[in-house]
Amino acid sequence: MKIPFKKNIAFTFSTLFLVGLFALSSFNTASAQRFGFIDSQKILERLPEYSQANTELEEMTKQWKAELAKKEQEILDSRTKLEAERVLLTEEMYVEKQKEVQKKEGDLIAYRESIFGANGMLFKKRRELIRPIQDKIMEAVRIVSLQKKLHFMFDKASDLHMLFYDDTYNFTDFVLEELGIQDPNISIDKG
């Protein structure tokens, strides 16, 4: 069945009109989206609780490293002692003592992994201390985004590569203000 020419043109024009209308509405929607960014590193540096958390983590790391160094020295001493006694030991005794030293080395590796590994105590402690701070910042970002009617908020300090940015869209200071942190560059006149 052949569609008459007039109906075909009307169909084509109505289709083009709808496509154009859709494209125009998409353009308006895209142009109406508002973007902003923050510098989370600047925010973290200004939060006292972040400095406290880092100090605590550094202290714990020092303690764990000291424990590991002590255990490493004990193993080195055991290995040195074993080599010094080698001439006095039978082959079986030497092999047995060597296995004991190797077991200590294996235990040390496991202990090091339990502290500094991907799911070790340091990772867990860092997450425990930093998560509340991150949550606090995210809530402030959410509030600022809603107040400023932003659709997207990016983090300049993240792995997102910002090749160019205009400071007009930098909302870091608003987030700091929402967190109750005063800009040290602004002096408050007390007179």
pLDDT, tens only, 122-143? 999 999 999 999 999 999 999 9
**Per DSSP, which regions of the chain are E strands?**
35-38, 152-155
180 contacts: CB under 8 Å, gap ≥ 6: none
Q: What is the predicted pLDDT for the residue at 164?
A: 67
Q: What is the predicted pLDDT for the residue at 169?
A: 79
The domain 35-178 is placed in CATH, from the list 3.30.910, 1.10.3470, 1.20.58, 3.40.50, at: 3.30.910
Take residue 180 and report the two structure tokens written for it. Answer: 């109750």
3-state secondary structure of 149: coil
Q: Which of 82, 84, 106 is nearest to 94 (CA)?
A: 82
Q: What is the predicted pLDDT for the residue at 127?
A: 94
Is-above-0.85 flag for pTM?
no
Lookup result for tokens 């209308």: 21
pLDDT tens series, the chain, 191 aa? 544 434 444 434 344 343 443 444 444 445 567 888 898 999 999 999 999 999 999 999 999 999 999 999 999 999 999 999 999 999 999 999 999 999 999 999 999 999 999 999 999 999 999 999 999 999 999 999 999 888 888 888 877 666 566 777 788 888 988 888 876 665 544 44
| Beta bridge partners of residue 153, listed in sequence order | 36
**C-alpha–C-alpha distance, residues 79 and 81, integer Å:** 5
**Residue type (1 letter), 108:** L
| Beta bridge partners of residue 94, listed in sequence order | none
